[in-house]
């Protein structure tokens, strides 16, 4: 089919100004309500969250750091799935991390080099996923705390390993000596949903939770050492949260991946524990008792979204994904099974059919605006011939996906965050949020020179002429169109849709000509609504002196409106700078700011009801940078959102509605 026109009429709101207020700023005629904050109860009879650091029962409370989420419609009587259900539904939601300062009575503590068990338990349980029912009561969405669907999945919840890695020695652990099971999910960031009604949650910065002894490298093969380095699992790391330091007990020891007591039965062997994280986990929000499944055919990364165009009967099902680390890659997965609409209600059993067998590809962006999807398979001689560590089987490729992508020759990108599929034409948008390791000169691993798809890098030049690399500070959004408009195609066209920048920056920085109504930095969360509006959320440390993080609405046109950036050699062979960008710039009619969040938050997570009249957004870690040293003095905290006064700030879900009951945005 040809293109449906992508301009669908104008926005129905006036742009809001940038803001540093500790509040939600929305256009006139719009309202927001907090419906689900960290600690809110998920079962009847559990008391309200005290929010003073004393709450302990996070297995039945909302986790912290609300992140990506999806709305799954319910029938009016709550008896099951209804994709059109706009009055009652389930929010499946990631809880990426915790703000330990406000989670404990006096912030995180360490006694004799050990984290107290109660603090570790609380932090572990406040990570993961929640499923929570929301429904309209007198026209306003509320959480149904007594819903039979409510559920928490934490880093300790039993899960199944599915796909090529199932049964591999690479994931044999104390917990599962036949390598079919694992425990939990961790640092869940962006999300996806499947055509068969399930939720996909993506494990992002799991690597930083693991401790690894200084001498552990000496106990690993050269191939293992290479992979550990590629995943940031550094020898000598204590683990970001210090959970392993709690001491004895399987639930704590497992966070030290160098532990190996060499007992005959493997009962003290945690060396493969980190190989059980880094996947896309599928779970069925409608089946509270179903066991979540790690879909290892989609590779092991710092996974961001897994986003799927509407499937076509008789064609493969396709998921696009990014790996959010500096200089990592963009991927897609193409199922082996061809879509059968009879599977639309299949739950995780349909997931077994479409997500356990298929081909994973890494993207190569060529300078002429073309691109190739390079297969990560045992049929690719660049993998089987990779020196000095050739791949031996598909499980090897799926556990060591980054190394396989190196071998295949993918293009290293400026931190691929979320992706989104335009429902009008199946073009895919990827946010490249920023990259301090993209440098102009003297590049060597792990730093890279700019290229056509990642063309920006800046330096500060000091009075004495010395230079300091700043990299791609403000990020950009790239988009792809698979050839023949076939998501299973192995080649594509691409362009850059927009570069982030301050409105007042020189035109050599503000390449997209952004103005006061739409300037932004470090695009992160993106989602298309059903009618083709693109929401863009920001997560930016470089711009928070000017404005808190924000959300913009876009009508972004199509591939070809933008341009492959021109990268020119400025001062000799090792100096490259982008000097011109020939794309069609956004205007206030095609890109404008819709919302600004409270202080210190990241705006993340966007999902709407099927009627487009309620938009759910997550306010993640308001006041996060507050040091624990000022906990005794609330006047010094960076945020008190949402409850104000001297209250501790809380990550929370808000629901946005238009006061006249209309659709949100357009």
Q: Which partner in Ca ion, ligand FEO, none is near 282 (CB below 5 to 8 A by kind)?
A: none
Token couple for 536: 């863009």
Nearest distance in Å: CB 417, Ca ion: 5
Nearest distance in Å: CB 8, ligand FEO: 29
d(Cα 585, Cα 58) in Å, to the nearest integer? Answer: 47
Nearest distance in Å: CB 121, ligand FEO: 23
Cis? peptide before 446, omega within 30° of 0? yes
Range list of β-strands (E), 472-533 = 476-482, 491-499, 523-528
Nearer to Ca ion, 211 or 619 (CB): 619
Nearest distance in Å: CB 281, Ca ion: 17
Nearer to Ca ion, 539 or 608 (CB): 539
Nearest distance in Å: CB 324, Ca ion: 7
Nearer to ligand FEO, 147 or 433 (CB): 433
Nearer to Ca ion, 224 or 323 (CB): 323
Residue with tokens 């020759």: 409
Binding region for Ca ion (CB under 5 A) out of 173-181, 361-369, 389-397, 602-610: 602-610
Nearest distance in Å: CB 256, ligand FEO: 24
Nearest distance in Å: CB 472, ligand FEO: 15
Binding region for Ca ion (CB under 5 A) out of 18-26, 315-323, 340-348, 538-546: 538-546
Binding region for Ca ion (CB under 5 A) out of 158-166, 435-443, 597-605, 654-662: 597-605
Residue 478 has phi, psi (to 5 degrees) of -110, 155
Q: Which partner in ligand FEO, Ca ion, none is near 284 (CB below 5 to 8 A by kind)?
A: none
Nearest distance in Å: CB 524, Ca ion: 4
Nearest distance in Å: CB 624, Ca ion: 7
Nearest distance in Å: CB 527, ligand FEO: 14
Neighbours of 116 (CB within 10 A): 15
Binding region for Ca ion (CB under 5 A) out of 36-44, 386-394, 516-524, 556-564: 516-524
Give the residues lining the site for ligand FEO (CB under 6 A). Answer: 96, 189, 204, 304, 324, 417
d(Cα 137, Cα 360) in Å, to the nearest integer? Answer: 44
| 440, 469 contact by CB (below 8 A) | yes
Nearer to ligand FEO, 154 or 433 (CB): 433
Nearer to ligand FEO, 11 or 199 (CB): 199
Nearer to ligand FEO, 96 or 577 (CB): 96
Q: Which residue number is nearest to ligand FEO in terms of Cβ?
A: 189
Query: Whole-angstrom distance between the N-terminal and C-terminal Cα of the chain?
Result: 25
d(Cα 257, Cα 236) in Å, to the nearest integer? Answer: 11
**Candidate residues 602, 609, 652, 665; the one interacting with Ca ion per rule CB under 5 A:** 602
| 338, 357 contact by CB (below 8 A) | no
Nearer to Ca ion, 502 or 524 (CB): 524
Token couple for 246: 């709690």
Nearest distance in Å: CB 25, ligand FEO: 23
Neighbours of 80 (CB within 10 A): 11
| 37, 651 contact by CB (below 8 A) | yes
**Candidate residues 119, 519, 524, 608; the one interacting with Ca ion per rule CB under 5 A:** 524
DSSP state of 339: P
Nearest distance in Å: CB 253, ligand FEO: 27
d(Cα 170, Cα 398) in Å, to the nearest integer? Answer: 10
CA torsion through residues 44, 47, 50, 55, sign:
negative
Token couple for 375: 């297969």
Q: Which residues of 140-153 are buried (b: 16+ CB within 10 A; e: fewer)?
A: ebebbbebebbbbb
Binding region for Ca ion (CB under 5 A) out of 154-162, 260-268, 596-604, 607-615: 596-604
Q: Which partner in ligand FEO, Ca ion, none is near 216 (CB below 5 to 8 A by kind)?
A: none
Beta strand pairing call for 158-162 and 293-295: parallel
Q: Which partner in Ca ion, ligand FEO, none is near 602 (CB below 5 to 8 A by kind)?
A: Ca ion
**Candidate residues 539, 540, 577, 608; the one interacting with Ca ion per rule CB under 5 A:** 539
d(Cα 313, Cα 636) in Å, to the nearest integer? Answer: 58
Q: Which partner in ligand FEO, Ca ion, none is near 330 (CB below 5 to 8 A by kind)?
A: none
d(Cα 649, Cα 51) in Å, to the nearest integer? Answer: 9
Neighbours of 157 (CB within 10 A): 20
Binding region for Ca ion (CB under 5 A) out of 112-120, 353-361, 392-400, 523-531: 523-531
DSSP state of 17: P
Cis? peptide before 419, omega within 30° of 0? no
Nearer to Ca ion, 406 or 602 (CB): 602
Q: Which residue number is nearest to Ca ion in terms of Cβ?
A: 539
Nearest distance in Å: CB 659, Ca ion: 30
DSSP state of 257: T
CA–centroid distance for 568 within its chain: 32
Q: Of the candidates 164, 155, 232, which has an alpha carbon nearest to the alpha carbon of residue 399?
A: 164
Binding region for Ca ion (CB under 5 A) out of 257-265, 479-487, 491-499, 517-525: 517-525
Residue 358 has phi, psi (to 5 degrees) of 165, -170
Binding region for Ca ion (CB under 5 A) out of 11-19, 229-237, 520-528, 541-549: 520-528
In sequence order, what DSSP letters do the residues of 23-43 get, joined into one string?
S-B--TTEEEEEEEETT-BSS
Nearer to Ca ion, 67 or 87 (CB): 67
Helix, strand, coil percentages (3-state) for the chain, rounded to 5, are 15, 30, 55
Nearer to ligand FEO, 96 or 451 (CB): 96
Number of residues that bind Ca ion (CB under 5 A): 3
Strand partners for 372: 364, 491
CA angle 185/39/656 to nearest 5° reads 95
Nearer to ligand FEO, 66 or 658 (CB): 66
Nearer to ligand FEO, 22 or 417 (CB): 417
Nearest distance in Å: CB 82, ligand FEO: 31
Nearest distance in Å: CB 135, ligand FEO: 29
Nearer to ligand FEO, 252 or 616 (CB): 616
Q: Which partner in ligand FEO, Ca ion, none is near 204 (CB below 5 to 8 A by kind)?
A: ligand FEO
Nearer to Ca ion, 397 or 601 (CB): 601
Q: Which partner in ligand FEO, Ca ion, none is near 304 (CB below 5 to 8 A by kind)?
A: ligand FEO
Nearest distance in Å: CB 161, ligand FEO: 23
CA–centroid distance for 194 within its chain: 16
Range list of β-strands (E), 102-157 = 128-137, 140-143, 151-153
Site track for Ca ion across 552-591, x = CB under 5 A: ----------------------------------------
Alpha carbon separation from 91 to 88, 110, 152, 286, 307 (Å, rounded): 10, 35, 12, 11, 17
389, HSE (Cβ side, Cα atoms, 13 Å): 15
Residues that bind Ca ion (CB under 5 A): 524, 539, 602
């Amino acid at each position: 089919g040809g293109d449906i026109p992508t301009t669908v009429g104008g926005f129905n709101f006036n742009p809001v100004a940038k803001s540093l207020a500790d509040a939600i700023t929305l256009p006139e005629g719009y309202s927001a309500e907090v419906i689900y904050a960290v600690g809110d109860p998920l079962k009847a009879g559990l008391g309200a969250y005290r929010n003073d650091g004393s709450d302990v029962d996070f297995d039945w409370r909302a986790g912290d750091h609300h992140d990506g989420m999806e709305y799954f419609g319910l029938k009016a009587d709550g008896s099951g799935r209804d994709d059109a259900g706009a009055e009652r539904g389930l929010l499946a939601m990631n809880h990426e991390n915790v703000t330990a300062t406000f989670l404990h009575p006096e912030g995180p503590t360490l006694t004799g080099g050990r984290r107290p068990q109660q603090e570790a338990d609380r932090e572990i349980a406040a990570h993961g996923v929640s499923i929570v029912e929301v429904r309209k009561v007198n026209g306003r969405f509320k959480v149904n705390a007594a819903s039979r669907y409510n559920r928490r999945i934490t880093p300790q919840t039993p899960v199944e390993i599915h796909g090529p890695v199932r049964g591999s020695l690479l994931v044999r652990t104390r917990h599962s000596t036949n390598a079919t099971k694992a425990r939990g999910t961790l640092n869940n960031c962006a999300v996806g949903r499947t055509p068969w009604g399930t939720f996909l949650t993506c494990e992002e910065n799991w690597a930083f939770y693991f401790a690894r002894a200084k001498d552990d490298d000496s106990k690993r093969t050269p191939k293992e050492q290479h992979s550990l380095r590629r995943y940031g699992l550094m020898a000598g790391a204590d683990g970001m949260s210090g959970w392993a330091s709690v001491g004895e007990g399987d639930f704590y020891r497992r966070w030290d991946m160098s532990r190996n007591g060499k007992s005959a039965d493997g009962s003290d062997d945690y060396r493969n524990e980190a190989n059980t994280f880094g996947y896309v986990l599928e779970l069925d929000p409608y089946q509270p008792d179903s066991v979540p499944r790690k879909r290892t055919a989609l590779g092991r990364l710092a996974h961001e979204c897994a986003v799927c165009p509407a499937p076509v009967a008789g064609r493969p099902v396709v998921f696009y994904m990014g790996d959010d680390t500096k200089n990592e890659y963009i991927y897609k997965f193409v199922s082996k099974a061809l879509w059968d609409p009879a599977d639309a209600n299949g739950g995780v059993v349909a997931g077994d059919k479409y997500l356990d067998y298929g081909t994973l590809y890494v993207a190569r962006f060529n300078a002429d605006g073309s691109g190739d999807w390079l297969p990560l398979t045992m049929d690719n001689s660049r993998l089987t011939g990779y020196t000095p560590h050739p791949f031996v089987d598909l499980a090897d490729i799926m556990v060591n996906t980054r190394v396989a992508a190196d071998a295949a020759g993918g293009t290293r990108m400026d931190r691929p965050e979320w992706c989104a599929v335009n429902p009008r034409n199946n073009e895919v948008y990827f946010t490249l949020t920023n990259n301090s390791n993209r440098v102009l000169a003297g590049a060597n691993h792990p730093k890279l020179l700019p290229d056509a798809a990642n063309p920006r890098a800046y330096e500060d030049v000091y009075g004495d002429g010395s230079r300091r690399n700043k990299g791609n500070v403000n990020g950009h959004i790239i988009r792809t169109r698979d050839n023949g408009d076939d998501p299973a195609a192995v080649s594509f066209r691409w362009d850059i849709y927009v570069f982030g920048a301050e409105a007042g920056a020189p035109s050599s920085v503000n390449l997209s000509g952004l103005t006061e109504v739409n300037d932004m930095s470090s695009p992160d969360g993106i989602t298309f609504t059903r009618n083709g509006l693109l929401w863009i959320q920001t997560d930016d440390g470089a711009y928070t002196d000017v404005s808190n993080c924000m959300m913009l609405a876009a009508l972004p046109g199509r591939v070809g409106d933008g341009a492959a950036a021109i990268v020119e050699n400025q001062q000799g062979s090792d100096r490259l700078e982008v000097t011109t960008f020939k794309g069609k710039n956004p205007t206030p009619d095609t890109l404008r700011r819709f919302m600004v969040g409270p202080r210190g938050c990241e705006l993340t997570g966007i999902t709407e009801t099927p009627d487009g009249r309620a938009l759910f957004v997550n306010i993640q870690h308001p006041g996060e940078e507050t040091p624990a040293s000022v906990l005794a003095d609330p006047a010094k905290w960076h945020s008190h959102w949402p409850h104000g006064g001297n209250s501790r700030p809380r990550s929370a879900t808000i629901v946005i509605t238009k006061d006249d009951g209309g659709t949100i945005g357009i």
